[in-house]
Amino acid sequence: MPLPRGYVADGNYDSDCTTLQQHAEGPEAENLRFCEDATFWEHYDADGIVVERPVILSCDAGRRKWNTVMGPLHDAEPRGSLWLYVPERPHHKSAMPSRSRAHPIILANYPSDHDFHPLGIAIWPSHGGNSSNLFVVNHARQRTVIEQFLLSPNKPTEAVHIQSITSPYFLSPNGLALTSPTSFYVTNDHLMTRRLPGLLGHILPEIESTLALPLAFVLHVTLNDFSPNRDSIASIQFSKMFTSFPNGIALSPSGEEVAIACSPMGQVGIFRRDLVTNALTPKYTVSVPFLADNVHYTKERNGQASLIVAGHPNFPGLKKIAIGETGAVAPSWVVAVVPKAGDNRTPQTTFDLDTPTSAASRVTKDGVEWTLKTLFQSEGDEDNGGFGASSTGLVDPDTGALYVTGLYAREGAIMCKRPHLRRSKEVY
């Protein structure tokens, strides 16, 4: 069943959704494209109340010439970029720049000879005006590293570079989930990467992906306090081995659960997390109607957390658009994985009925613990007003606004205000 030109749950696609490039100004605006990940940067006041929730995005306008996951590896010279989108927040004053605008983030103290191709990002919240550690997976020319920046609420568009974190175990870092200001999970999506020499770099990663070979892994990394004369990493732990293309990763608000996208299987694994050792044990598996990319939890009004999953319902189309094939489109699909409540937890074959193309058309049944609700769909034809290649979905728990990034979207990301959201229900 074909996807619609554009659909957003509890809203109107044509009137409620705008791309973030439309909210960017100045000569840098054209670089707000091909955005892979996004995350909320929450600012808490002294009473523990969130007073700001801007969005940070990782984008790379040169992705078609440099992509260490899908290829090619032709030109690493043009740098990618980070962006800050500041939503409206009535009756609140802060140091945030212009609202309803997307602003480029300056990389202060960044080495002039160092490439920057951002993928997964994660930032620790700001409490009482304190600066936040921002971590960015950087698919640089020679090897993939994790960059650490410091971002202050007083200068929210200036990320001060602290260090480049390297490890021989960083074979193919992709997604990040922070467990403290100085520790995080990081997925390594492949064992065999496109950095391998010659034909090996073309053939072996394709075989690993196509056959869904469980060769990749997830690490937990703990950092030392930064010092120029000290190793960056205090400890590394293999938290999950033998995984097929682990992509996005997210930590639940309670910290007791971790979600890991398994892209080629069209699944998201839900794991129990040991709060002391950071070990992960399987809890259950969620099937989604696409190749899962990034995952993010959102807080609910009733205290539960739904998981927002974005991905690619037509992978051949994504590959075509990645190489710039004329007329190629890459559809978008974002779902909420909603926890089931009550005693009736029998898996159902009929669910997600309010959307043009139901998730039930591709997923045989939901689960004992979960069901699916489609939040966003598009057939991806940007020339016809669609939005393509969805890679991340975020839901603001206060307003219900939905943000979707597009891995190869010319206008980077889309924001849907969803004014018809029924506030009596959970926000997802």
The helix (run of H) or strand (run of E) holding residue 41 is none
Q: What percent of the residues of the chain are helix, what percent strand, and what percent coil, each to the nearest 5?
A: 10, 45, 50
132-169 tens-digit pLDDT: 999 999 999 999 999 999 999 999 999 999 999 999 99
Quote the CA–CA distance of 324 and 17 in Å, as a whole number.
26
Burial 66-102 (b: 16+ CB within 10 A, else e): bbbbbbeeeebebbbbbbbbbbebeeeebebeeeeeb
pTM for this structure?
0.96
Sheet of 183-188, strand order: 173-180, 183-188, 216-223, 233-243
Q: How is residue 5 written in tokens?
A: 């030109």
Q: Give the closest residue to 132 by CA, choosing from 117, 103, 163, 154.
A: 154
Q: Residue 370 phi/psi, 5° resolution? A: -145, 160
The helix (run of H) or strand (run of E) holding residue 309 is strand 305-312
Quote the CA–CA distance of 81 and 102 in Å, as a whole number.
12
**What confidence score (pLDDT) does residue 59 get?**
98
286-330 tens-digit pLDDT: 999 999 999 999 976 556 789 999 999 999 999 999 988 999 999
Q: How is residue 44 written in tokens?
A: 């808490």
Please, which residues have CB within 8 angstroms of residue 60's CB and are 6 or more apart in sequence?
Answer: 34, 35, 36, 66, 80, 81, 117, 118
> Which residues does residue 38 pair with via DSSP β-bridges, in sequence order?
57
Average pLDDT over residues 269-281: 96
Residues 161 and 169: beta-carbon distance below 8 Å: no
What burial class does residue 138 get, using C-beta atoms within 10 Å of its C-beta: 0-12 exposed, 13-18 middle, 19+ buried? buried
**What confidence score (pLDDT) does residue 302 get?**
59
Q: How is residue 149 written in tokens?
A: 């920046």
Q: How is residue 74 written in tokens?
A: 């032709």
Q: Give the closest residue to 180 by CA, choosing from 124, 237, 257.
A: 124
- Measured at the alpha carbon of residue 280, what is the angle toward residues 275 and 256, in degrees to the nearest 5? 40
**What confidence score (pLDDT) does residue 8 get?**
97
Residues 34 and 387: beta-carbon distance below 8 Å: no
Quote the CA–CA distance of 231 and 87 in Å, as a whole number.
38
Residue 1 has pLDDT above 90, yes or no: no
46-103 tens-digit pLDDT: 999 999 999 999 999 999 999 999 989 999 999 999 999 999 876 666 778 888 899 9
All structural domains of the chain, each given as residue ranges with its CATH number in brackets, are 7-416 (2.120.10.30)
Please, which residues have CB within 8 angstroms of residue 207's CB and are 6 or more apart in sequence?
Answer: 192, 213
Quote the CA–CA distance of 104 and 89 in Å, as a whole number.
20
Sheet of 55-59, strand order: 35-40, 55-59, 81-86, 101-104
**What confidence score (pLDDT) does residue 424 get?**
42
Q: Which amino acid is at 251?
A: L
Average pLDDT over residues 364-370: 95
Q: Give the closest residue to 407 by CA, choosing from 325, 260, 294, 263.
A: 294
Residue 101 CA, chain-centre distance (Å), reads: 20
**What confidence score (pLDDT) does residue 426 get?**
55
372-419 tens-digit pLDDT: 999 999 999 999 999 999 999 999 998 999 999 999 999 999 999 988
Lowest mean pLDDT segment, chosen from 271-280, 337-346, 385-394, 398-407:
337-346
Average pLDDT over residues 116-126: 98
**What confidence score (pLDDT) does residue 299 get?**
78
Residue 421 has pLDDT above 90, yes or no: no
Percent of the chain surpassing pLDDT 90? 84
Residues 251 and 177: beta-carbon distance below 8 Å: yes
198-251 tens-digit pLDDT: 888 989 999 999 899 999 999 999 999 988 878 999 999 999 999 999 999 999
Mean pLDDT of all residues belonging to the chain? 93
